[in-house]
């Protein structure tokens, strides 16, 4: 049986219904806590995501495109959805189901690799240039 709703909310319209559509969620395995290495990787992804969004959102990039391993199609994730997914991984080791982007404009999304390259190039441009070539 699922947890009861907090007081003050309307009653569950499917309470006691054997055809409750959310019953399928009971079969989903609970997530496993991340091990320290996995946790560190997700925390690093969150930090990278913040940099990528700060650099690219002002240029009109809405988020990332990821090729799904299961269906082999591109999935478009806005910055906020990516952040929520990574935070959820930290909390309980799972990513909740979510709605895909509605009619995304593929040109407004980039890959993780593009973001990494863009961030690296931005850092290189920000470094002072040695006019005497002593850094070489």
Q: What is the model's pLDDT at position 1?
A: 42
Strand, coil or helix: what is 134? Answer: coil
Q: What is the pLDDT of residues 63-121, one digit of tens each?
A: 999 998 888 889 999 999 899 889 988 988 888 777 777 788 999 999 999 999 999 99
Q: What is the pLDDT of residue 136?
A: 54
Question: 3-state DSSP helix/strand/coil percent for the chain, to nearest 5?
Answer: 45, 10, 45
What pLDDT does residue 27 have? 66
With 60 as the cut, is the pLDDT of residue 61 above it?
Answer: yes
Q: What is the pLDDT of residue 63?
A: 95
pTM above 0.75, yes or no: no
Strand, helix or coil at 67?
A: strand
Give the contacts of 120 (CB within 8 A, at least 6 positions apart): none
Per the DSSP assignment, residues forming a β-bridge with 65 are 76
Counted residue by residue, the chain has a size of: 136
């Amino acid at each position: 049986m699922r947890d009861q709703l907090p007081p003050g909310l309307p009653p569950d319209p499917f309470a006691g219904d054997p055809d409750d559509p959310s019953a399928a969620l009971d079969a989903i395995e609970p997530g496993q806590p991340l091990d320290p290495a996995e946790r560190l990787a997700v925390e690093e992804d969150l930090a990278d995501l913040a940099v990528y969004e700060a650099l690219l959102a002002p240029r009109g990039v809405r988020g990332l495109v990821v090729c799904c391993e299961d269906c082999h199609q591109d999935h478009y994730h806005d910055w906020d959805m990516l952040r929520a997914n990574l935070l959820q991984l930290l909390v309980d080791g799972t990513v909740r189901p979510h709605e895909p982007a509605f009619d995304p404009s593929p040109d407004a999304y980039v890959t993780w690799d593009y973001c990494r390259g863009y961030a690296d190039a931005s850092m290189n441009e920000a470094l002072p240039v040695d006019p005497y070539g002593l850094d070489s």
